[in-house]
Amino acid sequence: MTLTATPPVIAQRRILLVDDHPVLREGLARMLEDQHDLTVCGQAEGPMEALRQIRSVMPDLVVLDLSLGNADGLEFTKQLHELYPHLPVLILSQHDETLYAERALRAGAMGYIMKQESPDRVMAAMRCVLGGQAWASERMAARLLQSVRGTSTELDKPPLERLTNREIEIFRLIGQGQSTRTIADSLCLSPKTVETHKEHLKQKLGLKSGNHLLQYAIECRGRFN
């Protein structure tokens, strides 16, 4: 009688997907269905639903987009890290990594990967972060290493990369054609505060007027979409 060894059961790591685009969430969920060691335990389109599901199912990993409707993805990343410091977060976004990867890591994410990457790379990033390792593209890893070693300074960065998180968010919304009032409402700020940020943006970017700021923000939209 020949005995056949029973293959070991692999415990699947549970992933919560947070993205305000249902089609993208479903596409990623279908990709994960084919993975033997990964499974989707929930989906959310915004911070409130994500927090509710985290309390309910406590995933092993949160895969988070930075664009969450009116919510600030960086601020939500920081909130998650404060509430659940041992819950790893991987940012999966279309936003330019040169503008957002370091910001996301400083906010508490363990990895940043752009949606333009191949499915295999996205899965590799998930497994890397689940294994307790940070993930960044080779280009960003080199930049971050230079920063840590002190071989590059803030002044070495292009002006756009030197903006604060709040300034970069307002700049992005300006590029979408949003008015001061609309930006203020969406970010829970006063119009006066938004105008102050606009003045700082003009100074930091070397722009002479509000029209120049609007034109430049429109030109840079591709880095945020």
Q: pLDDT per residue over 169-204, tens digit each?
A: 999 999 989 999 999 998 889 999 999 999 999 999
Sign of CA pseudo-dihedral 56, 58, 63, 66: positive
Q: What is the mean pLDDT of residues 95-118?
A: 93
**CATH number, domain 13-147, options 3.40.50.2000, 3.30.499.10, 3.40.50.2300, 3.40.50.1240:** 3.40.50.2300
Which residues lie below 8 Å from residue 128, measured CB to CB, with a gap of 6+? 111, 134, 135
Any idea where the domains of the chain sit in the sequence? Answer: 13-147, 158-223
pLDDT tens digit string along 203-218? 999 999 999 999 999 9
Rounded-to-integer distance, Cα 118 and Cα 135, Å: 15
- The pLDDT value recorded for residue 212 is 94
Q: Which helix (H) or strand (E) holds 128?
A: helix 119-130
Rounded-to-integer distance, Cα 126 and Cα 149, Å: 27
Other CB atoms within a 10 A radius of the CB of residue 38 amount to 19
pLDDT tens digit string along 145-170? 776 665 555 656 788 888 998 999 99
Which two tokens mark 209?
């007027």
- The pLDDT value recorded for residue 154 is 60
CA 52 to chain centre: 20
Q: What is the CATH number of domain 158-223?
A: 1.10.10.10
Q: Which helix (H) or strand (E) holds 5?
A: none
Least confident of 1-5, 7-11, 119-123: 1-5
The strands making up 89-93's β-sheet, listed across from edge to edge, are 38-44, 13-18, 61-64, 89-93, 111-114
CA 193 to chain centre: 25
pLDDT tens digit string along 65-76? 998 877 888 999
User: Contact, 96 vs 223, CB < 8 A?
Assistant: yes
Confidence of residue 38 (pLDDT cuts 50, 70, 90): very high
pTM: 0.83
- The pLDDT value recorded for residue 7 is 55
Biggest CA-to-CA distance, the chain: 86
